[in-house]
Amino acid sequence: MQKSKAISTFIAVLLCMTCSNPSHAAERPALPVIVDTDMESDVDDIGAMAMVHALADSSEIDLLGVMVCAKNPWSTLCADRINTYFNRAQLPLGQLKKAGVNRESAYAQKISEAFPGNLKSADEAPDAIELYRKLLAAGEDKSIVILTIGYTTNLRDLLGSPADQHSNLNGKALVEQKVKLWICMGGQFPEGREANIRWDTEASAEAISAWPTEIIFAGWETGNMKTGAKLRDLPQDSPVRRAYEHFGRIPHKSWDQVAVLYTARGLENGPSADFWELSEPGAMIINPANGRNTWKADPKGNQRHLIQKASNEEIAQEINSLMMHAPKSQN
């Protein structure tokens, strides 16, 4: 009798815990997201992609595809290895085919050579612009969020793309029809000279000024908390751990990770919405000579930037939890 009562009590406690700690996935439908990454110069792209796959595994986002906005050929292969590790070897993966930024990487080639993947060469990956058009054309109107954690080169080229077999709309019209929001890790507010904006200044100025839907910037100042201190606890065969070890900074800053967290859990009163507030509407103004940006308030503007409200520690705790995510097969 006492044993039966104890079992009943235990079940009741479990039910109570389940009710008081609902999963993020149960709260909102999965958000369709395309991620655009440079995957080369800094390692926060790796941490961000670990988060992206964790959020896809928990059905908080519907990961439609990944684009690479850098010309370093190892960047695309590295992204392929990360996707493969998280059991998404067949995830659509696009490569910048036109002119763009080509920077060295402390980890991209090493990860590409050490881990299995779906591609033998970046040349095998489809053109990012054609893949963008294909994914957008297949989506519901005003439904897709584009998250950039790298240069804006692909988006500039997307806006200038002509009609094709996927859609009879030009790039700008297709974006206006299908994209709900562009979340851009870029800029510094109220002013500064941040890498994702300045490395391809021309593309940044053109894409941001011509973009037809809302843009929300996660500026440099929002990602200064350090994360990843426990990455060495991940298995040796984790490319996330290995990339950070090759980069040589554990823990490290979290610029791209903040943009990912906001995308999945900050929008529309999401579970982490109180970590930030949005600025007044306005526009990012980019100096074409040096890539420096300033902010101009404009009540008719379609751009805003994040203003941090929560502590670095509170945001870092959530980022760390997602960065430590293991592939489903290893859970």
CA atoms within 13 A on the CB side of 290: 6
What percent of the chain has pLDDT above 90?
89
Nearest to 222 by CA among 147, 306, 296, 293: 306
HEC profile for 23-37?
Answer: CHHHHCCCEEEEEEE
| Residue 330: pLDDT over 80 | no
User: Does the CA dihedral 291-293-298-303 come out positive or negative?
Assistant: positive
Confidence band (pLDDT; 50, 70, 90) for 80? very high
Residue range 180-194: mean pLDDT, rounded: 98
pLDDT for position 27: 66
pLDDT for position 284: 98
Placement of tokens 């890790």 in the chain: 185
Residue 301: CB atoms within 10 A of its CB come to: 17
Confidence band (pLDDT; 50, 70, 90) for 328? confident
Nearest to 76 by CA among 55, 45, 33: 45
Residue 290: both structure tokens together: 């040096």
Confidence band (pLDDT; 50, 70, 90) for 322? very high
Residue 216: both structure tokens together: 């929300």
Q: What pTM value is reported for the model?
A: 0.91
Residue range 256-285: mean pLDDT, rounded: 97
- Gyration radius (Cα) of the chain, Å: 20
For 105-115, b/e burial (b = at least 16 CB within 10 A) is: bbbbbbbbeeb
| Residue 12: pLDDT over 50 | no
User: Does the CA dihedral 201-149-61-114 come out positive or negative?
Assistant: positive
Residue 234: both structure tokens together: 């991940």
| Residue 177: pLDDT over 80 | yes
| Residue 24: pLDDT over 60 | no
Confidence band (pLDDT; 50, 70, 90) for 14? very low
Residue 2: CB atoms within 10 A of its CB come to: 6
